[in-house]
Amino acid sequence: MARLVRHDATGPIELKPQEKSAWVCACGLSQNLPLCDGSHKIAKQNDKPGKVCVYDKTRTKVIEVRDDV
């Protein structure tokens, strides 16, 4: 399973020490990068073994499914 997501950030985002755990997005679909906002549930619904999902600019909709080569 893989996905293509367009990112336009060109630098790092500082995560300052937190009293509670801070969850950093690893799926690339969060609307609140670099933090997880629960959007990874979309990936769980769409990802299929052996396929690559291409997401639109909003990172909310799959616009293409390709074979993972």
* CB neighbour list of residue 21: distance below 8 Å, 6 or more residues apart: none
Establish if 25 lies at the interface with ligand FES (CB under 6 A): yes
26 binds ligand FES (CB under 6 A): yes
Residue 53 as a binder of ligand FES (CB under 6 A): the answer is no
Q: Whose Cβ is closer to ligand FES: residue 38's or residue 66's?
A: 38
Residue recorded with tokens 């990936």? 43
Which residues in this chain contact ligand FES in the complex, by CB under 6 A? 25-27, 29-30, 36-40
